[in-house]
Structure 1
Amino acid sequence: MVSHLNNPDATATDGPLSGVVIADFTRVLAGPYCTMLLADMGATVIKVEGPSGDDSRQWVPPARDGVSTYYLSVNRNKNSIMLDMKNPDDLETAYSIIDQADVFIENFKPGGLAQFGLDEQSVAQRWPGIVHASITGFGTAEGAHMPGYDLIAQAVSGMMTVTGSQDGPPQRAGVAIFDVVMGLQATVGVLGALHERAQSGKGQHLEIDLLSASLSGLVNQTTGYVACGNVPTRMGNDHPSLFPYGPFKAADRDIIICCGNDAQFSRMITRLELPDLASDTRFDNVKNRNANREPLRALMEEALAAKSADEWFELLQLDGVPASPVLGIDEGVDFAQKLGLNPVIQAGQGAEAVPLIKHPVTFSRTPARYDKAPPTLDQDRADVLQWLSQAKSLAQGKESHDLAGIAANAAR
């Protein structure tokens, strides 16, 4: 079995999810990020889009050759078909895609799919073996009416009250971080449900909502409240539980220094030539350093003023003290390349290839695949319809339901 329409020469070992088919009815970020990760791992993903396409296709700037890089970032390795589910024929095509799928993922508003017979109960009745993942903004109860935008989640979760300068206004993160967290959590949930289905033969319904993802993603901050009543506030770039842990002024610019334990702190003060601090009871453990942040900051920055941030970075690295310069996105990608992480891949072949950021997991035997560039709207209609036709005709013989495998059989 193979997992992409346009690659009949691939093999069943092309990815850990080869042979798994995903009916992807999601749009924007969280859902598409989840399905892209699954596609990278070899799953066949059919991206079903409405007549106007995925909203993020229009989110510019920036753009590459007129195409939104927002859309490009989460849609490689997928096969796009445009369906208007208010059209009976298109709705039947949608049903046929789900017929062949192992996983049905959607992020429609709660209740929005009932008119198409794709609500939880209808899906469970018609496709009892399918993994059905519903991604929502704020659940299906009292929050069902709330739009699922990441910024709304950052606001209501408390994220914006712990981000930014202490005396500044509430501050959003520089990326839709909770959409990404929710996409990762959806991926984990789907993989868990697929594993369970392999044992029981039964499907199930998964619910992933943005607020729950956000509260989980706030980890120590939310746990500090529910476990002991601590309500955190904005601390700028300081850590609530560790110091030094943040940016400090060197001769030319800031350098990040992170001391997570006493041993790292000891090595840092040795490198900064501050030996007296080793016996200073204000700084001899984590609790005391937290209580005496500003005196310690002043002593550190006085010493750091002797060298540039890059010089200190090299020296602190030699001592095993976590430190880094503050880089731009461009510099961060280049830095990853210098470390041998090879962050940039080419998705697709030849002229259609698009440079994108690689899959975050490195597999020793079944590496991530980048066969297909993010598709244009309805790009794969003919191939998807051919796949459906062949799948129906081969169903009695229990042949592979993989798109590329069926396409390859049809071409022979």
Structure 2
Amino acid sequence: MTIASDSEPAMPLDGVTVLELGHIVAGPFCTLLLADLGAEVVKIEHPEGGDSVRDSSPVGNSSFNYVNRDKLSVTLDLKSEGGRTVFERLLEESDVLVENFGPGTVERLGVGYEDLRVNRPELVYCSIKGFNRGPYEGYPALDPVAEAMSGLMSVTGNPGQPPVRVGTSIADMTASLYGAIAILAALRQRETTGEGQKVEVPLFESTVALMGYWLAYTEAYDAVPEPLGAGHPNWSPYDVFRTGDESWVFVGPSSERQWVALCEALDCSLHEDERFDSAEARRANAEELDAILHAEFRRFETDELLELLRDAGVPVAPVNDTRAVCSDPHLEATDALTTVEAVEGDGGTVRVPRFPVLASGFPRITSSDPPRLGADTEVILRALDYTAEEIEALREQGAV
């Protein structure tokens, strides 16, 4: 089934139809990645309200407008006979289903993998849940639950302060990325076997994977890392510093060459001081070194320091807020953001990130706006050969 225009250049997932039974971030971000690769994504929502973050709050609206671009919206009541019939006809035309409802929800609705594989054995079915099957599988889960349990929250923030979560939905989006990778692998495998499969993607274990080298550190050295702030115990200096105009910059020379270049750029001889003349010495005297550098960096305005250190080949970056990111000249030059019409909240156009990968074999798609609730229901029903009278009957029943 192809509803969208076929005027775009060829994409890797052309001809692949994805059904999304998703809400909030994890499911919708996974299917967004597939849409960015050319799949046609049909977002199935309940007729009364739809995705739970639709028109929920400024942050919820913004989340919806980002992760739901490039999709079609169909409203179906899966508990109704008519809605279930439409769903089954949609399923016949589909290759992939992605869901991130709570444990047991799709089974209660009769749309779990075991229910659907009987008539659609070619289906690739992706479930994004809090935990893999095991002792925790029935626990309620959110992004911060995974961050807390994975150890990520324990290393985020500053020493002596309460643990904090990462400032975006990192666990949800990490699971989404693993989900998209697994779906692509399952589609590739289907080319050989002719069979679909179920892939189960957990927030918890996916976030644990991000902590891999810290887990290896604990296992090898019987030590537990403290909250890191903006630093890293492997290097010094490696932190954020105030500049003369009260802005923050990150400075992180991670090699001896970069450390010498930093000192020469600052016109100081710290690299000749025995307290700081090796990586080991700098780690041992990190607090003293940071105090000296804080004073050094205060001599410069932010733009002056950035230019000085970049020219010297030293890793340095301004700590941008989101307004600065939205106006970043590099993102502008690389066409990294796309403009869509916001359908939730106050409306108007907003710029959101595009698929960040550049490939020589396929382009980045031209994004479409996130869909209004049920905006594509009639078009899709007609594509499934429903007549106008049948569509009206389904509406009267509340099935769509």
- Relative to the length of structure 2, the TM-score reads 0.88
* C-alpha contact (below 8 Å) 2:99/2:128 kept by paired residues: yes
Q: Which residue of 2 aligns with 1:393?
A: none
- Residue 380 of structure 1: CA displacement? 0.5
Ranges in structure 2 where 5+ consecutive residues have no aligned partner: 387-400
Among 267, 270, 292, the residue aligned to 2:264: 270
Among 89, 99, 102, the residue aligned to 2:92: 99
Identity percentage over the alignment? 30
Q: Which residue of 2 aligns with 1:53?
A: 50
Q: Which residue of 1 aligns with 2:253?
A: 259
Write the distance in 2 (CA, Å) between the matches of 1:283 and 1:172. 33
- Residue 223 of structure 1: CA displacement? 3.0
Write the distance in 1 (CA, Å) between the matches of 2:278 and 2:383. 64
* C-alpha contact (below 8 Å) 1:262/1:285 kept by paired residues: yes
Code of the aligned partner of 1:17: L
Structure-to-structure mapping, 1:6-405, within 5 angstroms: 6-7=4-5, 9-10=6-7, 13-50=9-46, 51-62=48-59, 68-253=61-246, 254-275=248-269, 277-337=270-330, 340-347=333-340, 355-389=351-385
- Residue 378 of structure 1: CA displacement? 0.8
- Residue 23 of structure 1: CA displacement? 1.1
* C-alpha contact (below 8 Å) 1:238/1:246 kept by paired residues: yes
Distance 1:280 1:353, change over 3 A: closer
Write the distance in 1 (CA, Å) between the matches of 2:15 and 2:341. 20
Greater CA drift, 245-254 or 188-197: 245-254
Write the distance in 2 (CA, Å) between the matches of 1:155 and 1:320. 37
- Residue 353 of structure 1: CA displacement? 6.4
* C-alpha contact (below 8 Å) 1:25/1:107 kept by paired residues: yes
Code of the aligned partner of 1:90: G
- Residue 348 of structure 1: CA displacement? 7.0
- Residue 321 of structure 1: CA displacement? 0.5
Write the distance in 2 (CA, Å) between the matches of 1:321 and 1:221. 26
Ranges in structure 1 where 5+ consecutive residues have no aligned partner: 391-412
Count of paired positions: 380
Write the distance in 2 (CA, Å) between the matches of 1:152 and 1:205. 24
Q: Which residue of 2 aligns with 1:409?
A: none
* C-alpha contact (below 8 Å) 1:348/1:370 kept by paired residues: no
- Residue 366 of structure 1: CA displacement? 2.0
Distance 1:281 1:96, change over 3 A: farther
CA deviation profile, 1:143-198 (whole Å, cap 9, x unmatched): 23322211121222222221112111111111111111111111111111111112
Write the distance in 1 (CA, Å) between the matches of 2:59 and 2:205. 30
- Residue 371 of structure 1: CA displacement? 4.3
SS of match in other structure, 1:126: coil
- Residue 76 of structure 1: CA displacement? 0.8
Write the distance in 2 (CA, Å) between the matches of 1:138 and 1:97. 29
SS of match in other structure, 1:189: helix
Code of the aligned partner of 1:388: L
Code of the aligned partner of 1:46: V
SS of match in other structure, 2:244: coil
- Residue 54 of structure 1: CA displacement? 0.5
- Residue 274 of structure 1: CA displacement? 2.0
Write the distance in 1 (CA, Å) between the matches of 2:236 and 2:180. 35
- Residue 270 of structure 1: CA displacement? 0.9
* C-alpha contact (below 8 Å) 1:24/1:48 kept by paired residues: yes
SS of match in other structure, 1:125: coil
Code of the aligned partner of 2:368: K
Write the distance in 1 (CA, Å) between the matches of 2:38 and 2:357. 13
Q: Which residue of 2 aligns with 1:397?
A: none
Code of the aligned partner of 1:232: P
* C-alpha contact (below 8 Å) 1:105/1:132 kept by paired residues: yes
- Residue 128 of structure 1: CA displacement? 1.6
* C-alpha contact (below 8 Å) 1:273/1:303 kept by paired residues: no
Distance 1:197 1:6, change over 3 A: closer
